[in-house]
């Protein structure tokens, strides 16, 4: 290649870069306009400025730290010494530092995807930057964790939000300190930044002034077309739910139908994402007549729907409809997450009324004892609930975006910062992934129900206190529940921790089978046998002490689904000819997955 052609290419590259900088400048103005147009003219409320009640926590943390200044100085000196050691090791190793010992933050864990680019290891500058960040992050988290003088709940809250801060400051999140983003900027002559700003503007408009970060290509999925496709019919509907009866996949079925009660915080089709990992389809293939509640996405008209309404118009309405559809009054049930909490509450109500229609109950990562509620606890105190109450009073419900933000913060590196880098710094479109499509297809919360759930369950833990909660003049007492219970938990569940699920089993009188599956709140449940992933633990002796349970537990490879099937089929009655939707008194209203699940 001659010098003239090289010069021409250089000039063309500079021209492209200048043009892209001009486009970026124009888009920055568009970004400012889009943001300002979406902001309300009124002054922000105190609850808008500090919706998570963080300021008081860090004021108390600051006071506790200053009460022992010597420890603070020692920690600072220790960090300075570690910085000096890191610098010396970098010089000693010809510019490549050794990894410091004791990395404890998420950034220091094996397989941290923030630092997957080869330059974080191969380039001395970026390797040093990464290790310096990890040392600082470790120092900050350790200092906060070792600060005395805070009560246990405030200490956990301080640690959680410290981690949020530490994660947000990762060098991978910024253009000038992310080698992959820098390389892309040079190679594309800034085109990635043009695309990234366009993505920011689109996300800001989609969130109506709030940044609604896209986690997947939503155009790649359609409910009922390529997700939630198991054949069935909606056979009953009221203003709170649709009841779906699925078509059989076997010639004979167990006599006793199976009712699945999903959470209403998300949509039911997490249990039916695609045929290969559909818990619903797999259950049908094992000979169960499966009914699933599909909750409505509530609006202001349903603002006063409460927990008792979800029992009557949800579970009880479904039981009545199943009896009409199949002629069977006795059913088995599955409750997922908050659906399991509702199921346990309903079983106690039924026990008090002498209602024995439910013969066996499965609870998937569901809590009834909230004394160890997991990381969600940091979002729940009287101040935050009052702020939520004020916020929900405006429309009668909690926006789905608020719930999404809460759950995304629990895994911020995976569900927030990775997409900031991909969408905005690299200027790429998010990858189409059905699980993340479901994760973003969230629902609103009716004001009355949500306040009751947060206050009575999370804040006061009243469900395990006999008589502290009353439904229709019926005191709720979990110790009156005698039906067999299958309690599934997950080892890495940050929403319903397995110790909490285990503790909940102590409040039931009937026989309890408790298992711990691998992975977390979603993957620990949606783990089909054909995937050959993870494992589950079970202790056949089922001791009351968790440490004893763990010490005597046996590990089984793969999915827990077959273990559940072996437990349930013995409680499902004899085999009869398969039932089809419409065979009974209820005629189909429309094809599954119905209309409610498609409501935005």
CA distance 197 to 30: 9
CA distance 497 to 490: 7
Pick the catalytic residue: 337, 366, 448, 478?
Answer: 337
Write out the H or E segment, with its range, that includes residue 142.
helix 124-145
Helix/strand/coil (H, E, C) string of 477-533? CHHHCCCCEEEEEECCCCCCCHHHHHHHHHHCCCCEEEEEECCCCCCCCCCCHHHCC
- Please report the sign of the dihedral spanned by the C-alpha atoms of residue 154, residue 156, residue 161, residue 166: positive
Q: For this structure, is 28 an active site residue?
A: no
Long-range contacts of 155-161 (CB under 8 A, 24+ apart): 156/375, 156/377, 156/378, 157/54, 157/57, 157/377, 157/378, 158/57, 158/58, 158/60, 158/61, 160/375, 160/378, 161/52, 161/54, 161/57, 161/58, 161/378
Question: Is 311 within 8 Å of 349 (Cβ atoms)?
Answer: yes
* DSSP string covering 266-330: S-GGGGGSSGGG-HHHHHHHTT--EEEEEE----GGGTT--HHHHIIIIIIHHHHHHHHHHS---
Question: Is 204 within 8 Å of 30 (Cβ atoms)?
Answer: no
Tallying the residues shown for the chain, one arrives at 600
So which residues are the catalytic ones?
337
């Amino acid at each position: 290649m001659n010098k003239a052609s090289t010069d021409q290419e250089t000039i063309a590259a500079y021209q492209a870069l200048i043009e892209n900088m001009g486009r970026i400048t124009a888009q920055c103005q568009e970004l400012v306009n889009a943001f300002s147009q979406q902001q309300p003219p009124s002054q922000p409320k105190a609850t808008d400025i500090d919706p998570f009640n963080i300021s008081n926590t860090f004021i108390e943390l600051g006071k506790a730290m200053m009460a022992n200044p010597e420890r603070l100085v020692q920690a600072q000196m220790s960090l300075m010494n570690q910085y000096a050691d890191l610098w010396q090791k970098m010089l000693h190793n010809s510019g490549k530092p050794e990894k410091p010992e004791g990395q404890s933050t998420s950034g220091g864990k094996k397989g941290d995807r923030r630092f997957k680019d080869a330059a974080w290891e191969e380039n001395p500058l970026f390797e040093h930057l990464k290790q310096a960040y990890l040392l600082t992050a470790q120092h900050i988290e350790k200092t906060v964790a070792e600060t005395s003088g805070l009560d246990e709940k405030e200490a956990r809250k301080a640690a959680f939000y410290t981690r949020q801060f530490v994660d947000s400051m990762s060098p991978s999140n910024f253009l000038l300190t992310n080698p992959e983003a820098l390389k892309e900027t040079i190679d594309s002559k800034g085109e990635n930044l043009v695309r990234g700003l366009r993505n920011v503007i689109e996300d800001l408009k989609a969130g109506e002034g709030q940044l609604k970060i896209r986690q997947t290509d939503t155009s790649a999925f359609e409910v009922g077309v390529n997700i939630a496709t198991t054949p069935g019919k909606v056979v009953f509907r009221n203003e709170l739910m649709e009841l779906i009866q699925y078509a059989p996949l076997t010639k004979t079925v167990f006599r006793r139908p199976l009712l699945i009660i999903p959470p209403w915080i998300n949509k039911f089709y997490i249990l039916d994402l695609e045929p290969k990992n559909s818990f619903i389809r797999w259950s049908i293939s094992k000979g169960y007549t499966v009914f699933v509640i599909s909750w409505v996405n509530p609006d202001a008209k349903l603002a006063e729907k409460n927990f008792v309404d979800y029992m009557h118009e949800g579970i009880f309405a479904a039981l009545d409809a199943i009896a009409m559809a199949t002629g069977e009054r006795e059913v088995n049930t599955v409750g997922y997450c908050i659906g399991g909490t509702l199921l346990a509450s309903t079983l106690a109500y039924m026990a008090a009324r002498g209602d024995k229609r439910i013969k066996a109950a499965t609870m998937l990562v569901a809590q009834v004892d909230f004394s160890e509620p997991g990381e969600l606890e940091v979002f729940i105190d009287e101040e935050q609930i009052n702020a939520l109450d004020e916020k929900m009073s405006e429309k009668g419900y909690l926006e789905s975006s608020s719930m999404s933000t809460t759950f995304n913060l629990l895994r911020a590196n995976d569900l927030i910062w990775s997409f900031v880098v991909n969408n905005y710094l690299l200027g790429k479109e998010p990858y189409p992934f059905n699980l993340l499509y479901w994760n973003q297809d969230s629902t609103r919360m009716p004001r009355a129900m949500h306040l009751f759930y947060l206050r009575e369950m999370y804040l006061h833990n009243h469900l395990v206190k006999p008589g502290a909660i009353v439904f229709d003049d019926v005191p709720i007492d979990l110790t009156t529940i005698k039906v067999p219970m299958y309690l599934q938990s997950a080892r890495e569940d940050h929403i319903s921790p397995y110790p909490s699920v285990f503790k909940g089993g102590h409040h039931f009188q009937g026989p309890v089978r408790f298992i711990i599956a691998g992975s977390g709140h979603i993957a620990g449940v949606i783990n089909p046998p054909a995937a050959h992933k993870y494992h589950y633990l079970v202790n056949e002796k089922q001791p009351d002490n968790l440490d004893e349970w763990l010490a005597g537990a046996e590990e089984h490879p793969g999915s827990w689904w077959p273990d559940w099937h072996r437990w349930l089929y013995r409680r499902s009655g004899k085999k009869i000819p398969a039932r089809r939707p419409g065979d009974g008194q209820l005629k189909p209203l429309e094809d599954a997955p119905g209309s409610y699940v498609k409501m935005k």
